Amino acid sequence: MKQLYFVTSNENKFKEAGKILSNYGIHVYMKKVELIEKQSDDPALIASSKARDAWKALRNDVIVEDDGLFIDALQGFPGPYSAFVYKTISNEGVLKLMNDVTNRNATFLSVIAHCSRNFAPIIFKGAVKGKISKKLRGRSWGYDPIFIPNNSGGLTYAELKSKKNMISHRRLALEHFAEWYTSI
Amino acid sequence: MKQLYFVTSNENKFKEAGKILSNYGIHVYMKKVELIEKQSDDPALIASSKARDAWKALRNDVIVEDDGLFIDALQGFPGPYSAFVYKTISNEGVLKLMNDVTNRNATFLSVIAHCSRNFAPIIFKGAVKGKISKKLRGRSWGYDPIFIPNNSGGLTYAELKSKKNMISHRRLALEHFAEWYTSI
């Protein structure tokens, strides 16, 4: 069984990732490391720099994950700053911004950066297209109650509950990583 | 006459700063340098890191400036991400978020970071308290059409036009810098 650290302070993310990676025989440990984030509109750059710093701190195989919700009608807002926006204006603020907006298309993007002794950080991405709901639906964390992935029968990530893990942007990114990681 | 570089890609900022600093016998040149911003909720940390990088690139006295609008009712949003928020949802988005919000208090903060051969970056701050207007008022750039500084007779920064420079957060920060810089 392969083992590595998932560097995050978000227990929900860790739980999701742990379940998905265990299907590939990969065991992850949650590890909190104080990482300085570069400010950039490019999530891959942010994750890549964090993975490098995390490897330097732990000297062990690591992954970090950043995700962002990119809303078409808002020119990609909240995008790379999804965490800050969630902390300040939250889902209620995003729904207010989308009030009376017809084009509700959005993309949820996950970026996994992996770093190990022998490699520069490697990036794996997963993206799911969908729509922003008109109100909060389902109880969960993050933007899950307002994101309706395409082909979900109109349910939000939050309403899909455990089924979210079968189709989520994070799953897609983790699968790309896991397929590569178990092949080396 | 003292001379230094103001590293920015924003001509409006540069013009404002140039006028204010000329009162102190300081001449600034505008210089564009590609700087990587750290992602942080602390504008002083961002500016400080940028000033250091700018000095390394130019080997000459430099200042950089970051400013942010911190809205009380939105838990400090857009704050350190004011530039990104302006680029995406703009003033219209901020006004939409403030629709029906009674507490319209906000603070406009400017952080100047100066770096020269002999010093670690030094930070100078200026803050102006005020309120968010109910609609766009006056033609200008950035958040100037929606920010009403206290004691302005109810006018926005944009409506104050050239008088903005007499009372702005950027003026306060630049004054702190200029008083120190002309004394060394």
B120 touching A, CB under 8 A?
no
pLDDT of residue B178: 95
* pLDDT band of B111, cuts 50, 70, 90: very high
Q: Per residue in B46-58, pLDDT tens?
A: 899 899 999 999 9
Strands annotated E in A72-181: 105-115, 122-132, 147-149
pLDDT in tens, A78-95: 998 999 999 999 999 999
How far A179 CA lies from chain B's nearest CA (Å)? 31
Query: pLDDT grade, residue A117 (50/70/90)?
Result: confident
Q: Is A89 on the interface with B (CB under 8 A)?
A: yes
CB contact at 8 A, A137 and A160? no
Label the pairing between strands B37-39 and B62-71.
unpaired
Q: Are A106 and A72 in contact (CB under 8 A)?
A: yes
Q: How many whole angstroms separate alpha carbon B22 and alpha carbon A143?
A: 48
Are the beta carbons of A172 and A166 closer than 8 angstroms?
no
Say if domain A2-181 classifies as CATH 3.90.950.10: yes
Give the mean pLDDT of chain B: 93
Dist. CA B24–CA B181, nearest whole Å = 9
Query: What type of residue sits at position B76?
Result: G
Question: Distance between CA B111 and CA B122 in Å, rounded?
Answer: 10
The pTM of this model reads 0.84
| A40/B38 CB distance under 8 A | no
Q: Which residue of A84, A96, A100 is the best one to mutate when testing the B interface, meaning the one whose CB has the most B CBs within 10 A?
A: A84
Q: Is the peptide bond before A121 cis (omega within 30 degrees of 0)?
A: no
Asked whether the beta carbons of residue B84 and residue A85 sit closer than 8 angstroms, the reply is no
Pick the catalytic residue: A53, A61, A66, A144? A66
Rounded to the nearest 10 degrees, the angle between the axes of helix B11-22 and helix B169-181 is: 50
